[in-house]
Structures are given as C-alpha cells and as structure tokens.
Structure 1
Amino acid sequence: MRETKLELVTMDVVRKLWGDDNCEFRFVAATGRSGGLLTMWNKDEFLLLKEWSDGRLLVIKGRWVKEDLEVVLINVYAPNLVYEQSILWGVLTELIIQFASPWIRGGDFNVVQCRSERSRCVGSTKGSREFDNFIQTCKLIDLPLVGKKFTWYEPDNKKSRLDRFLVEEHWLIQIKDLQQLGLKRSVSDHIPILLADVEIDWGPKPFKFINGWFKKKECASLIEKGWSNIGSLNGHLTRKLRKLKGVLKKWNGDNCNVLENRIVEYEDRIKVLDGISDKRVLNEGEMEGLKRLNVEVWDAMKFKESLWQQKSRMMWLKEGDANTAFFHRAAKIKAKRKTIYRMKIGRS
C-alpha cells in the first residue's frame, strides 16, 4: 500500500514496483501532485472479493488463502485540515460496521497521536486528541515502530510520525510475532513501513514460577520429591535449581494440556445432564453429579484465570473475570509494548 502522486497507474508501473506479473492491484488517482493510492497483492495468496474507494480511502476486502480468512485492507491518505480529518475518522468508524472482518488500516494519517511523535514542528493538539480518540473508540492497536522513531523527514530537520499501520487485536492472536518495521527511505520524504511476521530468536526463555501452581495440591509434593531425587550435586545450588526447573516445566506443560481437556470434558458432561433435565427431573445421583461437575469446572476455570492474571500483572483485574476480550487483549498488547527489539550502546 502506498501513496503514488499519479493520476494513472498502469500494469507497467506496478510491475516495476512488484518485480513480476504475479500480482493484482487497485488504485485511486491523485489530485494534481497530491495523494493517489495504490494497493498491490500476490494474486496466488489473496483473492479480491470487494472494493470501495474515494479520494482519501482505498478499501480492499479479500480472502487470505493461507489462513482461509476474510480480511479488509484500508489504504489511507488523510487530509491536513483537522475538521476534514474528523470527517475521515467518522467514515472509517462507519466502515467497521459494513465490513465484519479483521481490519488493517495503513497509510499517511497526516497527524501524530501525541507530542512525542513530532520534532521541531508544530502540530494541532485538537487533531492529535481526535486521532487518539478514533484509535481508542475503534479499539485499534498501534504497534511500536521498530528501527525508526519518525516516518516523515524534512531537510530543515523537521520530522513526525505521520505514517503507520493500525491493526485489531485479532492480528496479535493470529500472528504471534507481528511487527511494524521502519525501513530506509530514498528520494521520498516518507520512509517505507513494513508490517510483517518477524520471529526473533532471543535464546532460552526465562523461567517464571506461576503463583497459581500453589492452588494445585500436587505441586508442593512434586517440588519436595523432585528436590530429593536430584541429590546434592556436590553442593551446587544453581545446578540443583536448574534441574528442578526442568521438572516443573514438564509438569506444567502436561498439566495445562490436561486442564484444557478437563474443562471440555466437564462442559460436555454438564451439557448431557442439562439435556436430560429438559426431558425429566434428575434423580438424586444425577443431581449430585451435576453439582460436582459445576464445582470442578469452576475450579478449573479459576485456575486458568489465575494464569492470565499473572501474565497481565494488572492488579485491578485481580478479582475480575477473565472472560473479557479486553483482558486477553491487554496481556497481548502489554507484551508487545514491553518487548525490546534493539539497543543502542554509546555512539555505535
């Protein structure tokens, strides 16, 4: 997806950008030397289903073949004036209702979300506030920009982050290592941005003791037994703890798989008894069995919730219900925002 500043886009132009003929495209003509949108895709991996456009938006709905998933891609070129931007945010919000599929919005939004996204240039506080409100209202996620801080550069050292991809929470679940990467620019005053699944090998994962393990009766005895079986290892405490970590990790992996299967099993058995109760009164044994199942599934769900609570580390959710979209979204977003993608040491 890109701004073209062209009134006409031909296959020859697209071929030079894409590299071969294995693509399809749609475009919106530029007005003079301003705007112009182009969206291209691999025709073997994305099947066009529907399209819509105006001077500022190019909306493409299609099927992502690999995942057998309908998705909507919106190419955006926002106006400079705040009141025109407000109209555009309203149009984008309305489009969500019309296309009930996972969205990706990307392009030049011509506004920053906060003051830290611009340097040596003046911006509209009202415009930033309305843009941020649009992002929050639509529950969009602005992934950290890796490799760059700004996306637009002027020769007089003015710079801003005007370009970005905005995604829905679905994508953080669908694509584990989704990142927004700032690439090097050439003649344009805007940098290219790549939204990609980039897996990073951080080496061995650190071990974390899950507080919820203490709710399992067998945990304490497992630790005691594991500690005794390991032996002294000539007094090396670190090596002994490392061995115990392996025991706990194996137990946790097995236990989590059993937990999910157990919840499904309990719910299936409850469904059967509920079906019987629709036809006749349950006898005493069936009533007792239903009560036990309700207790078992409740305990299993609370244990599962405690695992999510520690992952999110949000104290205000300590007594809350894990069965909310925001609960899982918060844990995913927090992990993305706290990820350190690179470090700069000295002047290197």
Structure 2
Amino acid sequence: MMPKLISWNVRGLNEVSKMLGVRHLLRGWGANLVCLQETKMEFISRAVIRSLWGERSSRISVFGVIRGFRRRDGFRWMFTRVYGPNSDDSRVGLWDELTGMRAWWNLPTCIGGDFNVIRFPSERSSGGSLTRAMEEFSDFIRENLLVDLSMIGGDYTWSSNRDRPILSRTDRFLICGEWESKYSDVTQRRLGRVYSDHFPIMLSGNRRGGGRRPFRFEKMWLKKLKVFKGDLKKWNEEVVGNVNYNKNQCLSEIDELDRREESQGLTGEENERHRVLKEEMERLVEMEEINWRHKSRVTWLKEGDKCTKFFHRVANSNRRNNSITVLEVDGVTYEEPQGEFLSEPLSGVI
C-alpha cells in the first residue's frame, strides 16, 4: 500500500482555534507524511508537531528535505517539500537546487508543496499568456523525468477569496517514474478549503476505504438508564455521536461550493452559505474537543490541550478502573469470564 501524503499552505497557525481545526483535519485524513507551508510560527518544536499530528510524527525537517523513507515492502524513497519564491530570478535557483538534490541522493523522489508558479495559462482562471517562468517550470519537470499528475476534485488550489475570485493551481505533487511504477494507482486529489486561501492536496492510492463509524452503547447505560435509552440514543446520534459524520458532510458541502466557484462563481447567498459552513466546522471541532475532555475527566487542562494520545489514555484508564471483574459477597466470590466486565446485576446476591 502506498503512503498517503498531505501538502497544505495553511497561512498561519498562531491562532488556537485554527490550530485546533487543522489538527482535527490532519488526523481525520490519516496521512503518513504532512507538509505545511506558511505556518508563520517563529519556532516549531516537536511538541507542536505532536499536538498537530499525534505520536506518529517522528521526523522533522525545517529545510524541506526528508530522505530515506523505507516502506515495509522495502521501497526506499525521498520527499522534498517546496515553498517556492515569488521572484522569477530566485525561482531559477530553486530548479537548480532541486535537480542537484535529486542527483545527489539518487533515490526515487516525490516533490510537493506550494511552488508559487503555474505551468500553463489554463491553470489560472484569468488566463493570460505563456510566460518564461511557466516554461522554466515545465522544463524542470521534463529534464528530471517527473510526472505531473492530474488533479482530482478541482482545477485550482488557491483562491483570492473575493466576490469574483482569481483562482490558480500553485500547489501540486510531482513524482518520478519509479514512484509511478511502484504505485500504479497513485492519484492527486484536492480536498475542501477551510482555514486558508489554499486547498489542501493529497497524494494517495485511489482505493478509498473507511466509512461511517457505527454507534455503540456501553452495557451499563442500557441497564442503569434503560428508561432513557431512546432519548439518549437520539441525543448521542444527533449531537455527540455524529460529530465526525457532520464534519464530513460540512466539508463535502464546502467542496461542492468550491467547485461551483471555479466553474461559474457564487451568488451572494452561496457566499454567505460558504461562510456559515466554515463557522460550523469550527463549532464541530470544538464540540469534539470538549467531548474528549469530558470523557477523560481532566478539567485542569485547557480545551485545546487534548494533544496526542493523552486524553484517550485517561478515558480508557477510567473505563478500566470503573469495571468490576471480581465481587465478593458474604465470603462468596463471583467472577465474570476473562475479558468481560461485570455489568449485569447479580440478582439474589445484592
């Protein structure tokens, strides 16, 4: 199975609410490698990385090159993160540097990020003519035998966020021939745009698994709160249990509006709906955070400090501590089978 990569120009991570939202999106996407541009943070520590991505984050590169990845199947490759300069003259140096790094490491290569340049006039909604910068970008791709995959989910990756926006495709992944041969089902996909004027993009296989997580009750709820079973189930599905589903629905509608903005523009009513959906995303993310905080019963931490697996560990620990596996009454020991909790009432004993 090929790795899943995310690249996203987030346009700042200094706001707590924005970092929280980005964190939930990254964890929902379940990427193996995440590449963020324009965090606008002076220093990014390993603790910040873990708070965004969880315990899986094991390797950090401030220069944008991570080399020597080895998959379980033995395939070793190199990833290069790009945040391209706006100056055409500086960009020439970028192509030379990327070419030199690929030759030096001599590994199958994937390059991704915000290149700050397009390849063709068609990659900008306002059109225009072919420029020297575009030709140099295409020359770099051809000379290094890289593959520029088509973008699924939309034609552009950046929006000016105006009533009549200018759109362009400045973000992309480029892969070498070895990558394409190794992972024949590789695709590049544009994700929903929230929190930034750039769309996140994903490089992954085209197999799409997963699905809606089924709802499950705790056994003790059914016994001790049987009279409220119907109301509790409805409340959990509509308010708590469906948070992740509602987030996905919200992102799906945002994505649909983004596509419509590309093809025909948005009406005033649709622009307002787009704004409301982004606010709804923030509300859902906050609700999920508070829900985990409640489960862990750790009230001395801020709501934005769910980071890594801490809250999950505490919630699971509480569940284990609240279970009864052995009970002694009047010298008689009652024990449940191993692996099950004593949740049924002991009739005739107590």
For normalisation by structure 2, the TM-score amounts to 0.47
Q: Which structure ranks higher in relative contact order (CA pairs < 8 Å, sequence separation ≥ 6)?
A: 2
Question: For the pair shown, which has the larger CA radius of gyration, 1 or 2?
Answer: 1
For normalisation by structure 1, the TM-score amounts to 0.47
User: Whose helix proportion is higher, 1 or 2?
Assistant: 1
